A and B are shown apart, each in its own frame.
Chain A
Amino acid sequence: MDSGIVNGGASSDDILREIERLEAEKKEIENRILLLQAQLNNKTAPDACRKEDDTDRFPRPLVNSLRNGEVSGEGLSADMIYRYSRHLLLPDFGVEGQLKLLKSSILVVGAGGLGSPVALYLASCGVGCLGIVDDDMVELNNLHRQIIHAEAYVGKLKVKSAAAACRAINSSIKLVEHREALKAVNALDIVSKLLKLKRYDVVVDATDNLPSRYMINDCCVLLGKPLISGAALGLEGQLTVHHHNGGPCYRCLFPTPPPTAACQRCSDSGVLGVVPGVIGCLQALEAIKVATAVGEPLSGRMLLFDALSSRIRIVRHLVKMRGRSSHCVVCGENAAFTQQNFQNFDYECFTQSPMSDRSSPKLKLVPESARISSKEYKELVDKHEPHVLLDVRPAHHFKISAIPGSVNIPLSILEDKLPTIDLALREAGQVSGKHASLYVVCRRGNDSQRAVQYLNGNGFPLAKDLIGGLESWAQDVDRTFPIY
């Protein structure tokens, strides 16, 4: 950096402050340029239009004397006309659509892979009030898909980072930062009691877990809000508009939550960065359509995106069926689900899965005698104790990083590989003439316990689990060990 202000010895905080100051300055200048461009446009537009086609001209009465960023019932200010001109040029959207959008308020739940494009697009498109809810921090492993966050925000609140990015794109809209997780106890308040009696018109579910999906759905049904629901995992995505104009809700489609194993997270199964991006963009599109009553929203239909085969399918309800399930416990004809019920409902228990990665409970399947800490294991290695370290993660995980010398036998095929383990133990014992011990490791220390439980009952009574897996090895023994 050749700037005199930020030298090589400046701390990250100093750099961030300087960036913030410069950003503010930049925004100020950009606003001034926009205003001037708008003025210039107003002066030249009539002449330019006359040269092309008179019918293409912006309707003059809409350019009024409103100040920068203001919107009134009658029309748009000059700089807004310039900013949103490409929307205004769309015959199906036009001034009416833009005005509706500018008067709408949309809540985006989650500022992750889906929420990133949703928030960016809604902010740039000119949603009047954009609320973002999230209590998570930006992590480096988010950035490949959560495109709203920049490196400088790693370790900081996602909601703060997302709002800053949106403000940088469009300073004329109202941004509300909800720095908390949306839960049954606060959801009704957050969705229905926005500033000065104004409420959110549309809710976008951009969360990453099952209990939140059911909770947000129920909240929207109770408050009568349309819900734009998107999901992405691996190379697939799903998108639906729920509870819109009498259409079905999430529970109509999936009254029974799948078991925990069936609903994986990106942090376990992986996700190609662009996939939530595609679904998030479509969510923003549906949110705009619903907010402006333009087009035909994806209500009563589900879009399935298959990145692997580049195929999009749309599954719909039979025309003769209304779509909504009459038996639905929250939106059905005889549903008796109240706000009180909602606030007391345990969604994590209902879905058997946690809302947050951080609250994932640690399994305890094997007795303490069959476990060893990563530090204790390190001591054994240093003492050259003959042993075999069995890594039971899937083969593609093992390729990412592994403790040197460990043997990979994935849990799924462990049953068939017992002779291999036996052989490895004998070989390890031969070198020192002593009996070799068997230790089992995985990523977080859950699968290794399952493996030890199985091994203990199938000819390896002394097999031990490495507590906390590779994550604990990286934290307590080898800080340079790559975690993922």
Chain B
Amino acid sequence: MTLVIPLFRAREVTSMAEESEDTCAANKAGGVTKMQKTSDMEEREVGPWIEVKVLFFARARELTGLTDISLLMPPQSTARDCMSKLLNNFPKLEEIYNSMVLALNEEYVPESTVLRNRDELAIIPPISGG
């Protein structure tokens, strides 16, 4: 199950971009249009926007109903910004927010880590069964 950012998220990005000084409207519009055309991350050009693939594991998978999702984030976004966005879209994730590890490109990271384009952020809550 892979979910590509729905239209409202693109709009959200646009509105956030308006507040951002270093982004021009042309880039924004380009990014949004291309995103609707294709779901292939590799082929997409998002201008100064960064695209982050979020992987859900264990309980996070159950709570979101997804194994992964692609997020479009303003430049200089941190893992924490990404989490805020996810919590906004999937309020149920609050349940595991305090007891999970974040891994960026398969390395544990603190929430303050700045993300780059095409980063892969994994949300890993503990499993306890056996």
Contact = CB atoms under 8 A, between A and B. Distances in A.
Given A313-B106, A316-B107, A318-B109, A258 B95 contact: yes
Which one of B58, B100, B122, B130 has the greatest number of beta carbons of chain A within 10 Å?
Answer: B130
Nearest to A271: B129
B130 A258 contact: no
Given A256-B98, A256-B99, A262-B99, A208 B128 contact: yes
A264 B96 CA distance: 13
Contacts of A191: none
A253 interface: yes
B114 interface: no
A-B pairs, top 7 by smallest CB distance, nearest first, are A233-B129, A258-B99, A208-B130, A231-B127, A315-B103, A114-B130, A210-B128
Nearest to B57: A304
A257 interface: yes
B125 A258 contact: yes
B108 interface: yes
Contact of B125 (A209, A262, A314): A262
B117 interface: no
Interface string A206-238: 111110010000000000000000111110111
B105 to A, nearest CB: 10
Contacts of B6: none
Contacts of A238: 58, 124, 126-127
A406 to B, nearest CB: 26
Contacts of B96: 258, 262
Contacts of A113: 129-130
A309 interface: yes
Nearest to A250: B126
A208 B106 CA distance: 26
Contacts of B108: 315-318, 321
In terms of DSSP, what is the predominant structure of the interface of chain B?
Answer: loop
Contacts, number: 106
A254 B59 contact: no
Which bracket fits the contact residues of B? 20 to 34
Which bracket fits the contact residues of A? 35 or more
B69 interface: no
B77 interface: no
Contacts of B129: 113, 208, 231-234, 264-266, 269, 271, 276
Interface of A: 110, 112-115, 206-210, 213, 230-234, 236-238, 253-254, 256-259, 261-266, 269, 271, 276, 302, 304, 306, 308-309, 313-318, 321
B67 interface: yes
Given A304-B124, A318-B108, A232 B99 contact: no
A314 B99 contact: no
Given A258-B96, A258-B99, A304-B57, A318 B107 contact: yes
Interface in B81-130: 95-96, 98-101, 103, 106-109, 122, 124-130
B32 to A, nearest CB: 30
A231 B128 CA distance: 6
Contacts of A209: 128
Contacts of A304: 57, 122, 124
A316 B99 contact: no
B126 A266 contact: no
Contacts of A316: 106-108
Contacts of A254: 99-101, 126
A258 B59 contact: yes
B57 to A, nearest CB: 6
A248 B125 CA distance: 17
A353 B126 CA distance: 14
A484 B59 CA distance: 23
A266 B129 CA distance: 6
A315 B101 contact: yes
Contacts of B61: 236
B128 A315 contact: no
B124 A233 contact: no
A236 B130 contact: no
Given A236-B58, A236-B61, A304-B57, 5 more contacts: A113-B130, A254-B100, A258-B126, A259-B99, A313-B106
Which one of A115, A207, A258 has the greatest number of beta carbons of chain B within 10 Å?
Answer: A258
B129 to A, nearest CB: 4
Contacts of B128: 208-210, 213, 231, 233, 263-265
Nearest to B55: A313
A115 B96 CA distance: 27
A317 B107 CA distance: 5
A230 B130 contact: yes
B101 to A, nearest CB: 6
A110 B130 contact: yes
A258 B108 CA distance: 18
26 contacts: A110-B130, A112-B130, A113-B130, A208-B128, A210-B128, A213-B128, A231-B129, A233-B127, A253-B126, A254-B99, A254-B101, A259-B99, A262-B96, A262-B125, A264-B59, A266-B130, A304-B122, A308-B67, A315-B101, A315-B103, A315-B107, A315-B108, A316-B107, A317-B107, A318-B108, A321-B108
